[in-house]
Structure 1
């Protein structure tokens, strides 16, 4: 791979024979390294965001030139400088871009023009240094770190705005840190990492969705959709009685299969069943075999997902007398190897049930949006793009 790292030809005129020879050698070596006719195009316009035939990539390099920001060829075998966090963050942002492409129902190589511009803008924001010469943070990574600080210390929105302005004043004038909580939240949420707010009945009778989406009062128990003051019984229409937060699982599964490494790990179970009769992973269990026997068509595709669900409540506050409860509903992906299966990074938070009391036996009401997605994944499946096979497939889950 050493000859592909020769970058002297980049400083020559694109019309010179030496430049053309260097570009040709680059794409040939990149093709050999990827073992594919299709390689990532690093030209000024594509910026490692799209795959093309290596001959097309050669033409782009001659006509457009190499992306000047692409100084470390991490997509062609060169190791990033781990002491330079911006190099590592650039690699991660490119992966996020590819994950985001994988969520498109359209051909991931040819998304609609509007979508393409939107995604390219997102990657640009993710790769932009916090200020010229900054080696520690990009615009995106700084926003994520500050969000974590806000959550860890329970800062109010107004307090967080003040902190942002204070930090911006400390940074050089041409820094790229978003100027408000709203703008920072908008930047992070564009990667579909957010959640859906679903209004819920105070008495845990229903969720205000589907046929009840626009209802003001639940017809069975008569409780208001909005908070009611205990003393005056006055309805505060701007304050909801209860809110469920749902983190959609299908977009996250799409992102997982859009990452080459993760997509490979999701097939681990198919070729690593224990051969000594001992249970080392759920794939070795009787319940796994029972599913295989009852639904052989489902079991025949190693891409199909096996999920486990767990939930429990806790008091999120230090006050032991508080009756407020928080119930996270967690999904575990049993396809993954033992080293990843139970890591906190691999656990999928799907629902967050918050309120002045525990859901108890009425928790099935709150599970409804998750159950709907699971039924869809079981009955019909969802079309997804697989980074390993470079094609779409129908994913099912149970």
Structure 2
């Protein structure tokens, strides 16, 4: 990277070695499509912001040089696992993955010789202080059933699948290929007929789902007041009427009509590389809000469970498995920001994005006028953002006056806290 002559043999050799590493390692360890075969270009012009082919990057590095500070190739597969798995393949060592999934499901807290033997001495000593489930409890029974299904072969003489790994494989196919529950049941019944005698296969979708639910793949359904006042959740789970407006809880899926919309809330893991963090397989569907017209400003009511979990992960954290290090670590989670359209921005922030003061950046200093003939609002005075000596500031041809003001003052965190400090007694709901 220090070469003045970028066409020298040593520099060209280094470029080719880098491209060999980048194209081979990143193609194996990421989800970049085989059809593009493009990787980030680390030249001084692109600075890893553009994906290009090997030939294009080669030309870039010769003409523009490489970013000198780019010494750890994090955008090109360094410190990433080398194994690539196809989307419908549990991969080699899937048995180890399944035992690890069971282990994670129970927070490494169930005392069981079969699992403890698989852990190295360092992990056992680290995890010895974690709580253990008492034998005979519901959690212990679930754990024992999962371990039994993980060890049990699909049928006598089968070395490829255990009962549990076979069901997980089928559910992976179901999810990836959008298979209906009815089709999944039909497939299970076909397997029961086709496999050798003694094959242990669930009879229908619901029996199979029970197995993966025990593994932690489940969701919690929470009833809500029809006026968005409250959730029937935690200490209010057994209430029959809303404690604020006295209406009943509702279930939009209970009737025959389907005139409702769905508002999804996703969590995106931002400490993954850029080419992975926005992939669907790495996004977490945290919440689904079914409503006829959307929760609007009362979305805060529905966000309570997610906010509570995020606060717990920030304050307490959770033991998490690091596949690259083959060990567990104590993970803490922070919410960095939200991504949403402009109307949803108003719902989340509490600042109206309509009429005179619609700009959440300018806030009270926003400049706008109402067009008398159209009845809509127009946001003017953008010249205040120009440099103070810009010629357009001194022109009266736009609105009949010159512009001497500077841009609106940026609101600080202290200013925002001052604005919202009196909102503690605010009541939610449409009534």
Q: Please give the TM-score of this superposition, normalised by the length of structure 2.
A: 0.43
Higher helix fraction (1 or 2) = 1
Where relative contact order (Cα < 8 A, 6+ residues apart) is larger, the structure is: 1
Larger Rg: 2
